[in-house]
Amino acid sequence: MGDIIGMVKKSVAGLTGVAVCLITLGVVMEVLMGPGKLAFMNPAGVVEGITGIVKTLGTGGMTGLIAAVVVLGLLKGSNDA
């Protein structure tokens, strides 16, 4: 049973790492080429999406703070694996 949980944790950590890399690549591509220039990206842009998430967390008060801590914990956990 512990082996299955360990395998799932490693898989989730790997997927989280890939997602962080893709977000980083999207931000770099948007900075280099400008928003809305690539067909597979949101016309509003990656940076605008991240800004919207930060604004939503900021207006959420304590709930936003808790959500931010959970997200940071997930990202930190994916780097430890």
Q: What is the pLDDT of residues 31-78, one digit of tens each?
A: 888 777 766 666 777 777 778 877 887 787 877 777 777 777 766 765
Domain that holds residue 74: 2-80
Q: Which residue has the tokens 């931000």?
A: 27
* Overall domain count for the chain: 1
pTM of the model: 0.58
Q: Which two tokens stand for residue 67?
A: 């959500």
d(CA 7, CA 72): 22
- DSSP single-letter state for residue 81: -
